[in-house]
Amino acid sequence: MNRHHGTTDSHSHLRRRSGISKLIRTLSVVALALAFAFTTAVSSAAPANGPAFVPNEVLVQYRAGTSEAQQNAARGRVNGQRAEVIRERLELAKLPAGANVQAAIAALQSDPAVEFAEPNWIYTHSATSDDPYYTNGSLWGMYGDELTVSTSVAPNQYGSQAEEAWAADHTGSKSVYVGVIDEGIQYTHPDLDGNIWVNPFDPADGVDNDRNGYVDDIRGWDFANGDNSIYDGGRKGTADKHGTHVAGTIGAEGGNGIGVVGVNWNVTMISGKFLGRFGGTTANAIKAVNYFTDLKTLHGLNIVATNNSWGGGGYSQGLLDAITRGAQQNILFIAAAGNSEANNDETASYPSNYNTTEGAGYDAVIAVAAIDSSGRLASFSNYGATTVDLGAPGVGVPSTLPVDTYGSYSGTSMAAPHVTGGAALYASTHAGASAADIRAAILGSTVPTASLAGKTVTGGRLNVGGY
Ligand SMILES: [Ca+2]
Ligand SMILES: [Ca+2]
Ligand SMILES: [Ca+2]
Ligand SMILES: [Ca+2]
């Protein structure tokens, strides 16, 4: 399970935190002559081979109508302390050092005031670098069946067909917004800077002018560090590579004569940074998802989707509830299927296996597998005839990297943003389309692909050519 999402290979460390040794295990998987380094954080509190969670923390959802005294009594069963209120009646509680998290959850669940209690799972992103610098002509994921915009490169039927949409002058719109829930983004990158949100509702004056709970969230928010700097890689680009790469696939600037181009030449991306150097947590993932839902409801921003190229934890009712609230506001949740070669029908992969149908009346989650430039299912990619919706380019994908550079990564992390880019592109040409409409368009326009038959819901690959 924990191979599911790794990081770039710079994350292989042993680290000690809060007295708990964090074992970070590196597995090498050889595929296409690339070494995929999957790194995994496992706390000593985690069950053997189970997903990792933060020791001494639990998420607790209290039932509607419960009093403060009832909540305190429930928390008192496990000698817990309220650390943070995430959402109404949903809190992050601290347990005493050394507490058995699973036992505490059982005790909390038995209290009538508690709707559910669950671990604060740890997520990590997934990406594998094969070539540190962008090589011209390799952006196959944007190609289509015919030569259209580009004349210097060969067509590739297994690309997303974005070129064909561009040929029809469909290159996206800055009035379409996308949330990037990931690491941060080097927002000053010359191929991204024009497509990153600048918050008009909360100027940098030390005041939370729009009262969304985040002071000066100018380009989004860093939930990992609790600050408004969404890029923390400095002048050497030591962090936020993965988020910057994902952003470039969704919306690196096109037609500017430099670097790469995203599915959208124009789009507005907002950072929901929650993955730090050692991953992220359920608590912060929930806050990031809620952030975009709240931005949409508070300001009417046309946020059509969030991209979620991460995973690794177990099931979280709190996170599903947050995704469902987003779904109710017409925000798609587009997720990487995972990189553990696993069948997600048999072993659920989160968040890609979530389904919002029960709470929102449709499923806002789109799970994405990775294919290579020959149309094969990527050797690392998860799949699932009922749980993974489609395939998209995810092997040897060049995109933006800090600082002001480019590089090629592989992973379902790279496939998902092609689909998210497709959602934004579709929204730009179909004003008023609901999230369910966009989802239906994406799944309905896939091209049947042998490697995806029986391994995905659609049996096909992304095709944005007609958007
Ligand atoms: Ca402000
Ligand atoms: Ca604010
Ligand atoms: Ca920061
Ligand atoms: Ca460019």
pLDDT bracket for residue 43 (50, 70, 90): very low
Count up the domains in the chain and report the number: 2
Do 307 and 337 belong together in one domain? yes
CA of 217, nearest ligand number? 2
**CATH number of the domain where residue 404 is located:** 3.40.50.200
Does residue 4 lie in a domain region?
Answer: no
Give the least confident one: 111-115, 154-158, 281-285.
Answer: 154-158
* Final residue in a domain of this structure, among 87, 107, 125: 125
- Is a pLDDT exceeding 70 seen at residue 466? yes
- On whether both 148 and 294 belong to a single domain, the answer is yes
Q: Tell me the mean pLDDT in the region 326-351.
A: 97
Give, as residue ranges, everything with CB less than 5 Å from ion ligand 2: 202, 208, 210, 212, 214, 217
Average pLDDT over residues 267-288: 95
Burial of residue 237 (CB within 10 Å: 0-12, 13-18, 19+) is middle
Instruction: Determine, yes or no, domain membership for 350.
Output: yes
Within a domain: 199: yes
Phi-psi region of 27 (alpha: psi -120 to 50; beta: other; left: phi over 0): beta
Whether residues 148 and 28 share a domain: the answer is no
Report the pLDDT value the prediction gives residue 224, as an integer from 0 to 100. 97
In this model, does residue 458 exceed pLDDT 50? yes
Whether 115 is covered by a domain: the verdict is yes
Judgement on whether residues 346 and 239 belong to the same structural domain of the protein? yes
Q: Enter the tokens of residue 181.
A: 């829930």
Residue 18 has pLDDT above 60, yes or no: no
Q: What is the pLDDT of residue 148?
A: 52
Angle at 224 between CA 220 and CA 228, to 5 degrees: 35
Domain's final residue, options 125, 142, 166: 125
Residues serving a catalytic function are 182, 242, 413
Which of 3-7, 216-220, 363-367 shows the lowest per-residue confidence on average (mean pLDDT)? 3-7
100 vs 152, higher pLDDT: 100
The answer to whether residues 379 and 447 belong to one domain is yes
- Report the length, in residues, of the chain: 467
Do 139 and 120 lie in a common domain?
A: no
Which band of pLDDT confidence, cut at 50, 70 and 90, is reported for residue 461? Answer: very high
Cα-to-centroid distance, 173 and ligand 4 (Å): 15
* 366-384: average pLDDT: 97
Do both 156 and 213 map to the same domain?
yes
Check which CATH number belongs to the domain holding 35 and give it: 3.30.70.80
- Of 250, 255, 241, residue with least CA distance to 270: 250
Does the residue 370 lie in any domain? yes
Task: Report percent pLDDT > 90 for the chain.
Answer: 76
Distance 216 CA to ligand 1 centre (A): 4
Indicate if 104 and 185 belong to the same structural domain.
Answer: no
Answer whether residue 12 shows pLDDT above 50.
no
User: Average of pLDDT values for 266-275?
Assistant: 97
Asked which of 123-132, 324-333, 365-374, 426-435 is least confident by mean pLDDT, the reply is: 123-132
> What pLDDT, on the 0 to 100 scale, is given for residue 49?
53
- Supply 417's token pair: 């943003």
Strand partners of residue 59: 92, 118
Closest residue by Cα to residue 5 from 57, 53, 51: 51
pLDDT at 185 over 70: yes
For the chain, give the mean pLDDT: 86
Both 240 and 189 in one domain: the answer is yes
Structural domain ending residue among the three candidates 125, 151, 177: 125
Q: Band of the pLDDT at 195, cuts 50, 70, 90?
A: very high
Q: How far is the CA of 292 from the centre of ligand 2 (A)?
A: 12
Give a yes or no: residue 84 inside a domain. Answer: yes
Ligand index nearest the alpha carbon of residue 212: 2
Return the pLDDT at 138: 76
Confidence tier at 4 by pLDDT (50, 70, 90): very low
CA of 264 to the centre of ligand 2 (A): 27
| Pairwise CA distance, residues 17 & 276, whole Å | 14
CA angle 46, 62, 88 (to 5 degrees): 105
Whether 91 and 138 map to the same domain: the answer is no
Residue 424's domain comprises: 130-461
Residue 1 lies in a domain: no
pLDDT category at 152 given cuts 50, 70, 90 is low
Do 407 and 401 form a contact (C-beta atoms < 8 A)? yes
Report the separation in Å between the CA atom of 456 and the middle of ligand 3, taken as the mean of its atom positions: 37
Residue whose token pair is 């070129």 = 163
Encode pLDDT of 404-416 as tens digits: 999 999 999 999 9
Residues 89 and 154 grouped into a single domain: no
Q: Is residue 20 part of a domain?
A: yes
Q: Domain check: are 155 and 169 in the same one?
A: yes
- Asked if 363 and 356 count as a contact pair (C-beta separation under 8 A), the reply is yes
Q: Helix/strand/coil (H, E, C) string of the chain?
A: CCCCCCCCHHHCCCEEECCEEEEEEEEEEEECCEEEEEEEEECCCCCCCCCCEEEEEEEEEECCCCCHHHHHHHHHCCCCEEEEEEECCEEEEECCCCCCHHHHHHHHHCCCCEEEEEEEEEEEECCEEEECCCCCCCCHHHCCCCCCCCCCCCCCCCCCCHHHHHHCCCCEEEEEEEEEEECCCCCCCCCCHHHECCCCCCCCCCCCCCCCCCCCCCCEEECCCCECCCCCCHHHCCCCHHHHHHHHHHHCCCCCCCCCCCCCCEEEEEEEECCECCEEEHHHHHHHHHHHHHHHHHHCCCEEEEEECEECCCCCHHHHHHHHHHHHCCCEEEEECCCCCCECCCCCCCCCCCCCHHHHCCCCEEEEEEECCCCCECCCCCECCCCCCEEEECCCEEEEECCCEEEEEECHHHHHHHHHHHHHHHHHHCCCCCHHHHHHHHHHCCEECHHHCCCCCCCEECCCCCC
Which has the higher per-residue pLDDT, 136 or 441?
Answer: 441
Which residues, chain by chain, have CB under 5 Å from ion ligand 4?
A: 191, 253, 256, 259, 261
